[in-house]
Copies of this chain bind each other. A is one copy, B any other.
Amino acid sequence: MNFNRRNFIRTSGLTAIAGFAGIETVFAVMKNKSTKKSGKGLVLRFVQYDLLLNHTFTIANSSRNSTPDMLTSIEFDGITGYGEASMPPYLGESVETATKFFSLLDLGQFKDPFQMDDILTYVDSVMPGNCAAKAAIDIALHDLVGKIMGQPWYKIWGFDPADTPNTSFTIGIDTMEMVRQKTLEATPYKILKVKLGQKTDRDMIETIRSVTNVSLCVDVNQGWTDRQMALDMIHWLKEKGVVFVEQPMPKTAIDDMAWLTENSPLPTIADESLQRLPDVMKAKGVYSGINIKLMKCTGMREAHQMLTLAESFGMKVMIGCMTETSCAVSAAAQLSPKCEWADLDGNLLISNDPYSGVQVVNGKVILIDQPGIGIKEIKKVFE
């Protein structure tokens, strides 16, 4: 990274600069975009980068060994921001759909990366859906703008890095021997997230409890269909030291979920029920809280708005992720000081992470005081 160049950009807003036409043009455009159309715009790059999983990943209705992924970068005047679209197949996006989406975008029309609202509104308007692809643009733009300002986003948003929660580490559905082994590997974590929603639910919990006393949370991935059975199960889980239950019932079972939340001794968290900002209001009164994931909500900007909304509704917020590189996980982690829980283990589940960024130390999310989303390339992805 070119620090001299970056500092030069950052100070040029305050001091008169002569003899450097490129910068002058850019800043003139920033001040009066409607009359000056010259100057370079944002440059988007993207590349396929499939993620290799350490363990076969099983949820209630599928399993896989890799996750399709695309990495992005947005360059503006010598500064580069990085982004990512992680696309587990069950969400409907793919390398093909993301490539098509990125190819349709004309980011070169934007001469000022600070106009994030205009840029991201445009990106959202190009096609419906494509939330992970949109997040890949949003994250790269945030990284870029944070670098121009010389600050990480958790600071720009005014959050205290000491307030980051412990992150949960996910134990997928597997044979009891593998569950026991994965639980033992997860020793540093203060909270484990157990995937339920199968006939083996009680065995999963008992097996984990046979080797650890740490807090547990469970993610049922819509796996329970009978509300009374769900309530009975939650009472049993509470006795086993479970602290919250994610998406216990199908997302369509709204009345049953509202009843369950009303009667549940543990908080209920919406995941599959919730995607973007308007869904937060729909989740109010149905769930106790929401799981925000950048790949579902189009990125950091909308995630921050969802956090504001949930907070004002008195709902709890969990910040989650897919299997992702340190890029998207570090982006999500910027929000974590304001979240009750974090499920930011996505980068720890893959063997080919090209970035370093947010750390987990003794189970706690540790933010890096570096501009943007705070990542470094450890393996060259873009030429």
Within 8 A of B (CB), among A157-202: 157-160, 162
Contacting A155 at CB < 8 Å: which of B15, B114, B281? B114
Q: Which of A27-35, A92-100, A262-270, A343-351 contacts B (4 or more CB under 8 A)?
A: A27-35
Contacting A13 at CB < 8 Å: which of B15, B34, B114, B150? B150
Residues of B within 8 A of A308 (CB): 305, 308-309
Does B115 contact A369, Cβ atoms closer than 8 Å? no
Give Cα distance in the complex from A281 to B311, angstroms: 12
Chain A window 266-307, contacts with chain B (Cβ cutoff 8 Å), 1 for yes, 0 for no: 000000000001101100000000000000000001000100
Most buried by B among A14, A30, A278: A14
**Dominant SS among interface residues on chain A:** helix
Give Cα distance in the complex from A159 to B118, angstroms: 7
Residues of B within 8 A of A10 (CB): 10-11, 150
Residues of B within 8 A of A278 (CB): 312
The answer to whether A151 has its CB under 8 Å from any CB of chain B is yes
Shortest beta-carbon distance, A141 to chain B, in Å? 9
Shortest beta-carbon distance, A368 to chain B, in Å? 10
Residues of B within 8 A of A156 (CB): 149, 156
Closest 7 CB pairs of A and B: A116-B158, A114-B155, A117-B158, A7-B11, A308-B308, A115-B160, A149-B149
